[in-house]
Structure 1
């Protein structure tokens, strides 16, 4: 009988890890749910680790936009009065080319067998995060599944809008960098080699900057078939290292310490923290479990680590605002609003208010950063091009002196 290693959250917000010996993964999920645990991760303990275990192929095939459309469409069908199984069937027929079409069909089969939708989503943990499954479970328990799915879609839409805005703003600087690098490669591999025979015939060395650039061009031209696999190996190693908890924690701490970029990342994480926690509390999830799910939904490990002690404080009956004050990354205004929410019994509403205020601050910081980025990149690219041109002209002047 196989053994499955799990990581789950209890109703009190504690993270539990252990092994479950059952017939299959579905039985393991059912066993954990009967114990009142919310599953975060489940994998067979005896499985041989794959070379690409750090890469989640399911997650790569489905982006946030598709998830947002799926949740929004399903919410609209449920709000229109369709039963859940018929709504899932309609979502599966809507776009058969989408990977979520097959997922919708499998969810429908599980629902028709009597499983709750949240439990059916556990089999597709790479697509649906623990926070999203908790929202669905809260919606099914409270009878407002359509509203919970709409909340899920709104959060995904917000994330998509932020990413698309950043991508649009980075197109021009990225194009500048690519063109500058291509120009540098062209000069190093095509232009400067034309001068090298003249210096060899004269028995004189080329100027040092030209020698360096020429050597780089020779390396690219003669050993490109080795450099490309080496580059691919470096990228693969970087992705694997990012999956390692300790290395990821060090990387995220370094990112938060960067000037300008670090404070912006902290503000974005603070906004996500307040919004996720407010959404879960608004749907009736208990504060200890909601807090743990919120930390699981954050992207920066260092930011999450600074708030790990808050879970124990909540379980002991302490106030959330006092625990948040120990983090160096949360704005004082957000902490004050959380304290007001706890005192007035409107914690979810105050968290949403704090998330909106932090979102405005994040947008201002992002606009300032992007406004600075274009001129900085332009100056750097101009300096690079000027240095390359100066190198070429130095070589030409040296040739002229040899001729005279």
Structure 2
């Protein structure tokens, strides 16, 4: 829109951003020699299929600028939602690790000291305290093995994160296991609606848009099954909005909203609105879950620490009163 060519735009990007692996340079060189942006992106072998198909469609229809702007909005929404989901998973993990650390210190360092004191004074521990002490002794004996297992898991996690193929396999496994429920379903709905909006705005027909958007969220059994049913209904002559609703891809409310969009010729804008609402619901689910989880874990930590301290202090207070 600024009146510059693709190669000039890539030159500006390469000046503003670091390009250690030559990604921008590769695209700039190919497009500068007369190649299309689609050809240049394909040559890098690092661009998702959805982006490639959208760019190719934009070049064929002469709407490349609109397609690129739609892609920018799509990936911006996707990045913000992915960041929120990662935060939702990381926060409880950190709290659980802190809870485990507090418990380990109590049963392996604090309780043995009091146990020795009580043993010297001939005071018997409460059954609850004795069980915790036995658990702490077991942790001490097996600490080397536990640390080894944790180290192996940590190395495996680093490898999964560092190796793209391994990371992709883990993401597919995770999505297939949890993608069809709760927060993750809302995230998939947002991705699907956003992809449909971009495809429709780029000039694709209904079937092509559904096929392209379906690839974005593929890998979840329940979603793949719903999309297959939706395609079957479309092939049988059903409308897009009815097919998406009956197959379970969209809710009835979202389907009614899409019906209005189809009638008014603004289906792509309606899909973008559905994506925005799904993202908002996902973020609300995250906030609601965290608001419940934090006090719950704090209460658990307080109860455990309080129980341990009481089991130690009560016998100690009995000793002090007998001495007094």
TM-score (norm 1): 0.63
Q: 1:321 to 1:158 in 2, by over 3 A?
A: same
Q: How large is the Cα RMSD of the aligned pairs? A: 4.0
The SS at the match of 1:370 is helix
Q: Give how far 1:185 is off.
A: 2.4
Q: 1:389 to 1:180 in 2, by over 3 A?
A: farther
Q: Which structure shows the bigger proportion of residues in strand conformation?
A: 1
Q: 1:169 to 1:243 in 2, by over 3 A?
A: closer
Q: Give how far 1:83 is off.
A: 1.5
Matching residue within 231, 240, 252 for 2:178: 252
- The number of aligned residues is 316
Matched, 1:377 2:297: yes
The SS at the match of 2:40 is helix
Contact 2:172 2:219 in 1 (8 A): no
The farther-off stretch of 264-273 and 165-174 is: 165-174
Q: Distance in 2 between matches of 1:119 and 1:399?
A: 83
Q: Distance in 1 between matches of 2:39 and 2:61?
A: 16
The SS at the match of 1:114 is coil
Contact 1:241 1:248 in 2 (8 A): no
Matched, 1:231 2:157: no
The farther-off stretch of 113-122 and 191-200 is: 191-200
Q: Give how far 1:221 is off.
A: 3.7
Contact 2:258 2:271 in 1 (8 A): yes
Q: Distance in 2 between matches of 1:381 and 1:177?
A: 10
Matched, 1:296 2:222: no
Matched, 1:266 2:185: yes
Contact 2:108 2:133 in 1 (8 A): no
Q: Give how far 1:211 is off.
A: 2.8
The SS at the match of 1:285 is coil
Q: Which residue of 2 aligns with 1:218?
A: 140
Superposed CA offset, 1:280-325 (max 9, x none): 1111123223212212212771334322222233345432222212
Q: Give how far 1:241 is off.
A: 10
Q: Distance in 2 between matches of 1:331 and 1:107?
A: 41
Matching residue within 74, 77, 81 for 1:158: 77
TM-score (norm 2): 0.77
Matching residue within 78, 87, 91 for 2:9: 87
Matched, 1:283 2:202: yes
Q: Which structure shows the bigger proportion of residues in helix conformation?
A: 2
The SS at the match of 1:307 is helix
Q: 1:324 to 1:397 in 2, by over 3 A?
A: farther
Contact 2:111 2:133 in 1 (8 A): no
Where does the alignment leave 5 or more consecutive residues of structure 2 unmatched? none
Superposed CA offset, 1:200-225 (max 9, x none): 77797874432343135304644354
Q: Distance in 2 between matches of 1:165 and 1:250?
A: 20
Q: Which residue of 2 aligns with 1:355?
A: 275
Q: Which residue of 2 aligns with 1:190?
A: 109
Q: Which residue of 1 aligns with 2:37?
A: 117
Matching residue within 52, 55, 58 for 1:133: 52
Q: Give how far 1:333 is off.
A: 1.1
Q: Which has the higher contact order (CA 8 A, sep 6+)?
A: 2
Q: Distance in 2 between matches of 1:178 and 1:248?
A: 21
Matched, 1:314 2:240: no
